[in-house]
Amino acid sequence: MRKKERIYELDVFRSFAIMAVLTIHATSQTLVETKGTSLYIPFLFLNTFSSFAVPVFIFLSGFVLFYNYIDRPLNRGLVKSFYGKRLLYILVPYIVFTVFYFIFQLYRRDQFDMPFAQMLHEFGQDLYKGTAYTHLYYVIIMLQLYLIFPLLLEGFKKQPGIRPWIFPIGLILEWLYIYINKYGFHLLSLSYSGEHLHLGLPKGSIIITYLSYLFLGAGIGMYYDQFRKWLEISLKGFRSGKGPVWVLIWILWIAIGVLHTAVWYRYNTVGSSMNTMVYELLRNVHALLSCIVLWHISYAIYYYGPRLVRIALTSMGACSFGIFLLHPFLLYWYRYFISGGSSLKYALTIAGGWVIALGLSWIVVYFAFKYVKGSWLFFGSNPFRSKKKKATEN
């Protein structure tokens, strides 16, 4: 069985996703602080338009997993290797940062005198739910994906006929869950209470909420050779009929992102009687389009963009998991020491927080990977180690 080729533009893709995460977090306070001012609309747009961040990361995970594993025999060795890597490079850093942020929160709230039993209970809840800090819920979603992935892989191996339908299946299941979570059916009292399903985690922390993105990535992973031909940018390709489709998708991506912002603006300013399913639909469609558009952009940058831009974004994408784990700590201290003033100063302060949190966390993670032997304990798999190994072998 031939080894799958490496897809180089994926790290550029990850860089856009992590920049969107930083944009959401850097502008989170602005939605309260700038309401009623001229800065509110641009900050609301940045925050809302960037909401594709987590869906895009899950899309990428679905793609990478199915691309790499769909043609490999599913046996005990494969399952052992799969879970061994995830325990080392995902679960261990998650536990380390959960401990770190739990202690940090105790410091912030001056709660070190909390009874030990209560402290232990709260830490256990944070570890289980990913609530030690606002961003860690994403790792809980990924751990759920890793738990169900071998079952999904086996199912699509045994039933290859359903592979072309994987995206519609994911879309239907996701929206069925969204509908049940909002309206409910006559379910057993043990699993249903009031108007929401109680699965032990918030709705946004459950993998089924993201099945459309996961299964879209999985479908592309299984049919990548065909998809790659569609991605390739050329004048001939544009004239062949792909160009108008590219343009249409881009226009829809921008238009729906603007519409998504507009409905949230109306809701936050004058109120709205619009069904919440409309907000779900706009977010879902925009995030799905983002998966395609951002890959298109990443492909163009990697193969046709300036060399320095390609190198920088590839490095950022390779460090994205570590950046994700570390950046909220740096953003907190930036906000603690630096505050805004006039509209211009305030806007520059928010932009500065984005640059500092991204830049410093990127530098820390990059140099840790380069020079710290046990950096995987904190930031996951070292992308530069495998490159060194290949260089040595060659």
Mean model confidence pLDDT for the chain:
88
Q: Evaluate if residue 386 carries a pLDDT over 80.
A: no
Q: Which two tokens stand for residue 234?
A: 């050329």
State pTM to two decimals.
Answer: 0.91
pLDDT, position 2: 58
- Tell me the percentage of the chain whose pLDDT exceeds 90: 66
Task: Give the confidence band of 203 by pLDDT, cuts at 50, 70, 90.
Answer: confident
3-state secondary structure of 192: strand
Q: Evaluate if residue 229 carries a pLDDT over 50.
A: yes
Quick one: average pLDDT of 257-268?
93
Question: What is the residue extent of each domain of the chain?
Answer: 10-389
- Rounded to a whole number, what is the distance in angstroms from the first to the last CA of the chain? 21
pLDDT, position 196: 47
CB 318 within 8 A of CB 384: yes
Q: Token match 């995902």: residue? A: 90
Other beta carbons within 10 angstroms of residue 57's beta carbon come to 25
Task: Give the confidence band of 183 by pLDDT, cuts at 50, 70, 90.
Answer: confident
Q: Rounding to the nearest 10 degrees, give the CA dihedral for residues 192, 195, 196, 198.
A: -30
Tens of pLDDT along 345-376? 999 999 999 999 999 999 999 999 999 999 99
Of 274 and 155, more confident = 155
Q: Evaluate if residue 149 carries a pLDDT over 50.
A: yes
